[in-house]
Every structure is written in structure tokens, then in C-alpha cells.
């Protein structure tokens, strides 16, 4: 379980392409990301829940298999790429964002990036079938960061989020570009409510 509050960032190192999977390391100087780490622990990289297979004083190693690569932006990883890192939540931690599983729904493409002093507005385009779960003031996780949806446009299958300076400082969103693929995790409670109501309507 994760909260969508990004604790640190790192960059991709030692990436190896293997049949049906990739092996890669994330190097970080954030001590919170490395503190009391163990093999088998769950860590979210750009929102994707992965299992720690090895680590040292500065880097964490992961394996990503074909299914994970197919559903997420990890398929386009390259050495030097910055990524968001979040350790799994522990009992007693403050839940500052919203409950996340790290199971990515798919990717959305950045349609526009609007920057001004102390503001950044992202517009993303997603599959039309997702729009039933996306509405203003609702939660969504983008590359692992818990964010609030500001606007949604069903006709264009787009939605917008606003990023505050704190988010830009502590995540990789300061370097986001138009056309970039972003991992999306739909709020699970929203999905359950919408899907349940649709099933009930079909029975009436």
C-alpha cells in the first residue's frame, strides 16, 4: 500500500534488457528511500509497485516482467531517466494523499504543459473508457503522485491537474514534456462505486 506522497527521486542506472523482462537499478541520494530497506520490500517507481531484488548504499535493483512493461511507462526506461520513488506505507504513517496499490491502470499522454510563476498545469489524454472514473475534485495518481483532478473533458478524453511548487520540487514533474507517457492509477473507491452502479443499472 502507498499514499501517493513522493518521498524522493532517483535516476535509472544499470538497465539490462532480457527476454521478457528488464533488470534495472535506481540510484538515489535520498536517505529516506534507502533507510532500513530489505530484499523483498515493495517500492513504487513512478507509481509502479515493484519488489526489491537487491540494494546497496546508493542504489536499489528491480525486475520488471512483460506484463508490467506492457501496462506502464517502464517499457521506455533509459539510463539517466529521473523517476519518482515511494516506499510502502507502514502502520502509523500519516496518510497525506490517498490509498494506492501501485497497480497501474495504464498510461496517459501529456497533451499540454502550461507553466507560469509558481504554477504548472498538465493536461493529459487517456482512453475514452477511463473518463467515467475521472471528474473534477476526484483523486488520481500520476507517476505515483496523489493529485486532485481540476477539470475533465469527456469529448476530448482529457483531464487537467495543477501542480504546486512543493510537488514540482519533490517529484520529476518539473521536467515533464508534451507527448510523455505518464503512469495512471485510478482511485479504487471511485472505480468500485462507478462499476457497481453500472451493474445495478443493467439489472433494472
Residue 189 and residue 111 share a domain: yes
CATH at 142 = 2.40.30.20
Residue 186 and residue 119 share a domain: yes
- What is the mean pLDDT of the segment spanning 49-56? 96
CB distance 111 to 124 below 8 Å: yes
Does residue 74 sit within a domain? yes
Query: Which domain does 149 fall in, by range?
Result: 106-203
pLDDT, residue 117, reads 84
* Residue 18 CB burial class (10 angstroms; 0-12, 13-18, ≥19): exposed
Does residue 192 sit within a domain? yes
Does residue 97 sit within a domain? no
Does residue 96 sit within a domain? no
Q: What confidence tens digit (pLDDT) does each residue in 55-111 have?
A: 999 999 999 999 999 999 999 999 999 999 999 887 666 666 678 999 999 999 999
Amino acid at each position: 500500500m502507498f499514499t501517493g506522497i513522493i518521498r524522493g527521486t532517483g535516476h535509472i542506472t544499470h538497465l539490462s534488457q532480457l527476454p521478457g523482462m528488464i533488470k534495472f537499478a535506481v540510484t538515489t541520494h535520498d536517505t529516506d528511500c534507502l533507510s532500513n530497506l530489505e530484499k523483498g520490500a515493495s517500492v513504487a517507481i513512478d507509481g509502479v509497485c515493484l519488489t526489491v531484488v537487491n540494494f546497496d548504499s546508493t542504489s536499489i535493483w528491480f525486475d520488471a516482467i512483460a506484463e508490467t512493461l506492457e501496462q506502464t511507462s517502464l517499457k521506455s526506461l533509459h539510463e539517466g531517466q529521473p523517476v519518482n520513488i515511494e516506499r510502502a506505507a507502514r502502520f502509523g504513517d500519516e496518510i497525506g494523499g490517498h490509498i494506492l496499490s501501485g497497480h497501474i491502470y495504464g498510461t496517459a499522454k501529456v497533451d499540454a504543459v502550461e507553466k507560469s510563476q509558481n504554477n504548472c498545469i498538465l493536461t493529459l489524454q487517456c482512453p475514452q473508457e477511463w473518463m467515467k472514473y475521472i471528474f473534477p475534485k476526484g483523486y488520481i495518481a500520476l507517476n505515483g503522485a496523489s493529485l486532485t483532478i481540476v477539470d475533465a473533458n469527456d469529448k476530448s478524453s482529457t483531464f487537467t491537474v495543477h501542480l504546486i511548487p512543493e510537488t514540482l520540487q519533490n517529484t520529476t514533474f518539473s521536467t515533464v514534456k508534451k507527448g510523455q507517457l505518464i503512469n495512471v492509477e485510478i482511485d479504487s473507491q471511485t472505480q468500485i462505486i462507478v462499476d457497481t452502479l453500472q451493474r445495478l443499472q443493467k439489472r433494472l
